[in-house]
Amino acid sequence: MLYEREGYDTGHWPQSYWRATCPAMPPCPVLAEETLADVAIIGAGYAGMNAALELVERHGADVVVLEAGQPGWGASGRNGGFCCLGGARLSAGMIQRRFGAEAATDWARFEHGAIARVRDNLARYSIEAQACESGELLLADSPRRWAALQAKAAEPGARLMDRAALQAEGLNAATYYGGRMVPQGFGLHPLRYITGLAQAALAAGVRIYGESGAQSLRPDGAGWRIETAQGVVRARQVLVATNGYSDERLVPWLRGRILPAISNIMVTRPLAPEELAAQGWTRHLMSYDDRVLLHYFRLLPDNRLLFGARGGLSFRPASVAAFAKRARAEFEVIFPRLKAAQTDYTWNGLVCLTSSLAPYIGPVPAAPPGLWLALGWHGNGVAAASEGGRRAARALMGEAGTPPIITRRPPARFILPRKWGLRAGMALGSLRDGPLRAV
């Protein structure tokens, strides 16, 4: 694994706002025996839970899920709660050049379907995940980027808003020249969503084992054998859906092909209406900027402001504290009238990038049949991993052509050592971004 042990300690839950505001789910039992299954899924996040539900509901499969912690411990329970378009770092033009026009249309259809998938999950399984205002706002923090945003082809229904329009609509932040709002997507409580999925899977007959991380994975006759600390699962097929928390020793082919990156989140105390009015930020709209080391933020239902930032190279306490201090300073530049709003919660976690800049949903190349991967959601896993897990389940049950075209190409290994590459990328990104300044 790329980072220190602190980042993977499943015995320690992040002290997040989500954790503090989510009813506790009874812990899933530890696997302490040998058991059989049609399909074993490693990872109880959005992809794993959706795959399990699809396998049971659509195919009647017998499914076991192994989770190193408990459902929601990883990225699925600690992200910013942006259910939105995304999942790849490829523009429509890049997809068309690399894969063809059909692939671009296919991916756009997948993105929209992924948001619809989450809405359907919330309704179908009666999950109360505090869904917020629909839409998403991309903000430009320089005249050059604002000009580029205006010139770029946009999603259907997108609306450009200059600085005056942003201010008029309760979206006033100090550093942005304009933005583009799209109607797709909505904010939600990510931990409520994943625990709701886990409860739905249990009710459907899925066996979920917590504190049961896979320690070895090897072929076993016509199937696979997974060993945990206290138990064994033998299954015809295995889906590894651990994203940025993947143990690359488990699937050696994966080594060096994913890049887990640290993302950091803080949440303020509840803000009074007059404080929000003074800042001019009164909307509960998912928002983010177009910097390489981006910021993302949204007003929560209880009027706390969630603020996230990409960056950091270590889970060591001193490094985490230093980055949290930097993120807080950037928050105060963007929202100067909210300087008095102290931070009540701060935590971090891993997003997962690939060298192909797209997720991978498919069999492990050169491995015996029956071993599959579904990962690499590029920081937009709420929707993409939900639908991606469903597509992975259909694919491993033999339904041809179900993963999106761009997700079928296995990612290559990163050329540079990943920590070096990440450090260099952040340095270059910081240069490209320039200082964060009020308009």
- Span 18-50, pLDDT tens digits: 999 999 899 999 999 999 999 999 999 999 999
pLDDT of residue 180: 97
Hey, which residues does 298 pair with through a beta bridge? 306
* Least confident interval from 85-94, 152-161, 338-347: 152-161
Helix (H) or strand (E) run with residue 124 in it: helix 101-124
Q: Where are the beta strands (DSSP E) in 269-336?
A: 286-289, 295-299, 305-310
- Which DSSP symbol is given to 283? -
pLDDT of residue 416: 87
Domains of the chain plus CATH, in order, are 5-80+191-256+356-414 (3.50.50.60)
pLDDT band at 358 (very low <50, low <70, confident <90, very high): very high
Cβ count within 10 A of residue 253: 15
Pair type for strands 63-66 and 207-209:
parallel
pLDDT per residue over 238-294, tens digit each? 999 999 999 999 999 999 999 999 999 999 999 999 999 999 999 999 999 999 999
**What is the SS3 assignment for 226?**
strand
Token pair, residue 74, equals: 């990883």
**What is the SS3 assignment for 235?**
strand
pTM tops 0.85 = yes
Helix (H) or strand (E) run with residue 178 in it: strand 178-187
Rg of the Cα atoms in the chain: 21
How far, in whole angstroms, is CA 421 from its chain's centroid? 21
pLDDT of residue 271: 98
Token pair, residue 177, equals: 């020249």
